[in-house]
């Protein structure tokens, strides 16, 4: 039985998926979900990943494709399966690294992350071959940085950050964090302090983001790639 608590937005997204699959026999695209709620595709991607982590959705990998199944409410069995790559075409976002040969590791660039307060999705999915940097790493994705709030950590506008998918972070780590109430995502250094979370920009001209309670961590930055 699914028991992990959902945010209001996650409940809305799960309900939308269930209704859409019931009516259409296939999943909506990320763009359709984003349009439904008036938020970006990569923010939707983050919520879907949280629904997978909380066992309301299930992701099955078959070769280089990925499918999502809506889990049953009582016993964890799947109700309906769909392939978001088939359904969404080029606007879908892969969620993890994919090996294509003995010498290649392709990571998806799933969108642009604002080094400010929010993510904006890119239109065309891209891939990076990173076999020499992180061979056999199974749970990493890439984001292109938009903005200069992390410049003093040498993370500049246009850089690509490699993110290990984790839902916990240590103080001082650079994280992808979803902000309440709508799950807009930002890249900042993470500090858990007395009664609140401080998301600290690496730019002395900017103020930290203070979040009372907790935030959803969607990953921790493990590397930065810059095209010179």
In a domain, 23, yes or no: yes
Residues 177-221 pLDDT 10s:
988 877 888 999 999 998 899 999 999 999 999 999 888 899 999
Total tally of structural domains belonging to the chain: 2
Q: Are 219 and 110 in the same domain?
A: yes
Find the domain containing 29 and state its range: 8-91
What value does the mean pLDDT of the chain take?
74
Q: How far apart are CA 142 and CA 127, in angstroms?
A: 9
Residues 171-185 pLDDT 10s:
999 999 988 877 888
- Name every residue whose Cβ is closer than 8 Å to that of residue 71 and which is 6 or more positions away in sequence: 2, 55, 56, 57, 58, 77, 78, 79
Task: Determine if the pTM surpasses 0.75.
Answer: no
Residues involved in catalysis: 149, 188
Q: Are 133 and 197 in the same domain?
A: yes
Q: How far apart are CA 102 and CA 88, in angstroms?
A: 29
CA angle 220, 225, 228 (to 5 degrees): 160
> Are residues 216 and 126 in contact, defined by beta-carbon separation less than 8 angstroms?
no
The helix (H) or strand (E) run that includes residue 82 is: strand 78-82
Phi and psi for 16 in degrees, rounded to 5? -65, -45
3-class DSSP assignment, residue 65: strand
CATH of the domain at 19: 1.10.10.10
Mean pLDDT of 10-36: 83
- Taking 60 as the threshold, does the pLDDT of residue 138 lie above it? no
Residue written as token pair 């970006």: 40
Strand ranges for 41-180 from DSSP E: 57-62, 65-71, 78-82, 98-101, 104-114, 119-120, 126-129, 140-146, 160-164, 174-179
Least confident of 119-123, 142-146, 180-184, 203-207: 119-123
In a domain, 1, yes or no: no
Q: Are 104 and 202 in the same domain?
A: yes
Mean pLDDT of 92-111: 51
Q: Are 74 and 118 in the same domain?
A: no
- Tokens in use for 175? 């994280």
């Amino acid at each position: 039985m699914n028991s992990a608590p959902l945010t209001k937005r996650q409940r809305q997204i799960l309900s939308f998926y269930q209704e859409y699959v019931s009516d259409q026999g296939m999943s909506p695209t990320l763009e359709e979900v984003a349009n439904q709620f008036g938020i970006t595709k990569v923010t939707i991607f983050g919520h879907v990943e949280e629904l997978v982590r909380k066992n309301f959705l299930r992701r099955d990998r078959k070769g280089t494709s990925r499918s999502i199944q809506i889990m049953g409410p009582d016993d964890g069995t799947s109700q309906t399966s769909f392939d978001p790559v088939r359904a969404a075409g080029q606007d879908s976002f892969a969620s993890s690294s994919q090996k294509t040969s003995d010498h290649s590791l392709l990571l998806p660039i799933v969108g642009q992350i604002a080094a400010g307060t929010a993510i904006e999705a890119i239109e065309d999915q891209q891939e990076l071959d990173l076999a020499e940097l992180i061979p056999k790493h199974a749970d990493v994705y890439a984001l292109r940085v938009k903005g200069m709030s992390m410049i003093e950590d040498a993370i500049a506008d246009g850089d690509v950050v490699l993110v290990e998918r984790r839902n916990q972070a240590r103080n001082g780590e650079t994280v992808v964090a979803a902000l309440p109430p709508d799950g807009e995502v930002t890249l900042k250094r993470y500090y858990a302090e007395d009664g609140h979370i401080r998301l600290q920009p690496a730019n002395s001209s900017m103020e930290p983001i203070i979040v009372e309670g907790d935030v959803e961590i969607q990953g921790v930055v493990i590397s930065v790639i810059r095209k010179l």
